[in-house]
């Protein structure tokens, strides 16, 4: 059967988990795919851009998912990301479906003002398809709270309203949420620590690919909570740095805040991407892009566990190689789900016009992530013949199945 990897994965867990075939078929295809082409005048020259928004599934609630600005954004990538959002929201049992969007362009070729203009025109091209009860975008790779504020302003202007709940990941001045910035990275750290506790393992080192929002917050979390765990190497789009005695995260954060490139950080050696992935370490944390661990580099891995801070960084074939090498892969839909959890809290606060203190947000966040991750790891230790990825997918799809069947299939509104 010729299927894309995600459809194959759903087909597989449908069989293992004995899940309603109709639900599996529904989840294998997105409800709606929006593709736009829009011009933007930059320095008196017209540039043409391709924009996407994929609304994967809304059985559980309004579509929810980030907007990605990257030169490689394409319809397949956005569709996969939207599908993962459906599964992630369901795993946490939050009342959102899955969506994702993006614009295909090279961020390095445009300055801040150009990027803001591109963001505005992108929203102009999709504004009729989003809304706080229908589809709620957020930041992702290449976007941030400042760009989300620009998009929110444009959306409200075009729709003549003041609906702050249409976007999450906003700045605090635009009714964003405390703890949103930290949420994804801190969530990855928390899930990793729960894995260590449940398996009685102690990790002393990690390597990290990606030092953007997620990678940096995660390194900061580990520096605070796991001070004995050395960060041996970090990589980003500028290159990979290594220090066998550990990279000083506090100093690196100051260095990056000063506008320096990661590769210029002192007291480290530059290494190749191939060497980075072949380093001996306890934990490998991909926090940048999809398909970073593949059939090419997976055979060389020397880690004990991989935690997917990015979406889809381990290919299906690499997953099989990792299994054969006894490397556990903690899947993205669990590992990085802290981001959408606090996005949900942000949306709730906007809807009821409240602002919650960090302490309240942190306690709701840790409670929810602790419950679900401990349940998954417990169940995994009792069922060693099933991978963590398959287990998370089964939990997630079963939840969707239950809602679908309980509602006599009436909740499926494809619009
Ligand atoms: P970001 O734009 O803030 O950072 C991306 C990082 O990836 C940067 O350090 C960049 O240099 C690096 N990178 C880009 N291209 C690279 C390349 N070719 N090789 C190596 N490194 C490269 O993005 P982010 O928000 O930190 O998101 C990172 C990942 O986490 C993405 O997969 C995203 O979908 C996922 N994610 C993000 C959130 C969130 O809340 N931001 C939530 C869940 C999942």
Question: What is the block-wise mean pLDDT of the chain (415 residues), using blocks of 10 residues?
Answer: 79 95 96 98 97 98 98 96 98 98 97 98 98 97 97 97 97 97 97 97 98 97 97 97 98 98 98 98 97 97 98 95 97 98 98 97 98 97 90 97 80 47
Question: Does the C-beta of 329 come closer than 6 Å to ligand 1?
Answer: no
- Binding site membership of 237 for ligand 1 (Cβ less than 6 Å): yes
Confidence at residue 409, expressed as pLDDT on a 0 to 100 scale:
58
Instruction: Output the pLDDT for position 414.
Output: 45
pLDDT of residue 2: 54
pLDDT in tens, 179-201: 999 999 999 999 999 999 999 99
Per-residue confidence (pLDDT) for residue 415, from 0 to 100: 43
| DSSP H or E run through 57 | strand 45-57
Is 362 buried (19+), middle (13-18) or exposed (0-12) by CB count in 10 A?
A: middle
> What is the structure's pLDDT at 364?
98
Rounded Cα distance, 344 and 206, in Å: 30
Backbone angles phi, psi at 223, to 5 degrees: -60, -40
Nearest CA to ligand 1 atom 23: 141
Q: How many residues does the chain have?
A: 415
Residue 378: partners with Cβ closer than 8 Å, 6 or more residues away: 198
This prediction has a pTM of 0.95
The verdict on the CB of residue 292 being under 6 Å from ligand 1 is: no
- Dig out the tokens for 207 from the structure: 């390597």
Q: Tell me the C-alpha distance between 56 and 97, whole Å.
A: 7
Q: Is-catalytic flag, 273?
A: no
User: Of 32, 71, 88, 100, which residue is the catalytic one?
Assistant: 100
Beta-bridge partners for 139: 67
Strands (DSSP E) found in 299-401? 305-307, 328-330
Integer Cα distance of 330 and 65 in angstroms: 21
Residue whose C-alpha is closest to residue 140's, from 98, 83, 100: 100
Residue nearest to atom 17 of ligand 1 (CA): 237
Supply the pLDDT for residue 1.
44
């Amino acid at each position: 059967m010729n299927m894309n990897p995600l459809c194959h994965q759903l087909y597989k867990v449908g069989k293992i988990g004995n899940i309603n075939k109709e639900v599996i078929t529904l989840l294998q295809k997105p409800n709606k795919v929006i593709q736009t082409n829009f011009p933007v005048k930059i320095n008196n020259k017209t540039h043409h851009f391709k924009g996407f928004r994929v609304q994967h599934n809304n059985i559980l609630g309004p579509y929810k998912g980030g907007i990605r600005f990257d030169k490689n954004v394409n319809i397949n990538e956005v569709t996969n990301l939207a599908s993962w959002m459906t599964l992630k929201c369901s795993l946490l049992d939050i009342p959102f479906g899955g969506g994702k969007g993006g614009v295909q362009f090279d961020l390095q070729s445009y300055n801040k003002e150009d990027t803001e203009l591109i963001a505005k025109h992108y929203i102009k091209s999709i504004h009729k398809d989003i809304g706080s009860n229908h589809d709620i975008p957020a930041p992702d790779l290449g976007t941030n709270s400042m760009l989300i504020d620009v998009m929110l302003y444009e959306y409200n202007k075009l729709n003549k309203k003041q609906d702050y709940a249409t976007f999450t990941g906003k700045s605090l001045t635009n009714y964003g949420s405390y703890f949103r910035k930290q949420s994804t990275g801190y969530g990855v750290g928390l899930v990793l620590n729960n894995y260590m506790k449940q398996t009685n393992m102690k990790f002393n080192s990690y390597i990290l690919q990606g030092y953007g929002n997620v990678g940096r917050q995660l390194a900061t979390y580990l520096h605070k909570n796991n001070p004995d765990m050395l960060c041996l190497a970090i990589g980003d789009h500028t290159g990979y740095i290594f220090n066998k005695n550990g990279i000083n995260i506090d100093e690196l954060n100051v260095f990056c805040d000063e506008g320096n490139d990661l590769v210029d950080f002192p007291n480290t050696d530059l290494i190749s991407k191939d060497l980075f992935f072949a380093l001996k370490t306890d934990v490998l944390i991909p926090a940048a892009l999809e398909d970073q661990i593949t059939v090419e580099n997976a055979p060389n891995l020397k880690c004990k566990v991989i935690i997917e801070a990015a979406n889809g960084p381990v290919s299906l074939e690499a997953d099989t190689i990792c299994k054969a090498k006894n490397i556990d892969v903690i899947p993205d839909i669990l590992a990085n789900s802290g981001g959408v959890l606090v996005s949900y809290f942000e949306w709730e606060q906007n809807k009821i016009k409240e602002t919650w203190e960090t302490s309240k947000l942190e306690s709701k966040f840790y409670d929810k992530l602790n419950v679900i991750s401990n349940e998954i790891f417990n169940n995994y230790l009792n069922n060693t013949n099933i991978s963590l990825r398959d287990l998370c997918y089964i939990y997630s799809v079963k939840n969707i199945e239950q809602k679908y069947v309980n509602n006599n299939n009436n909740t499926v509104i494809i619009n």
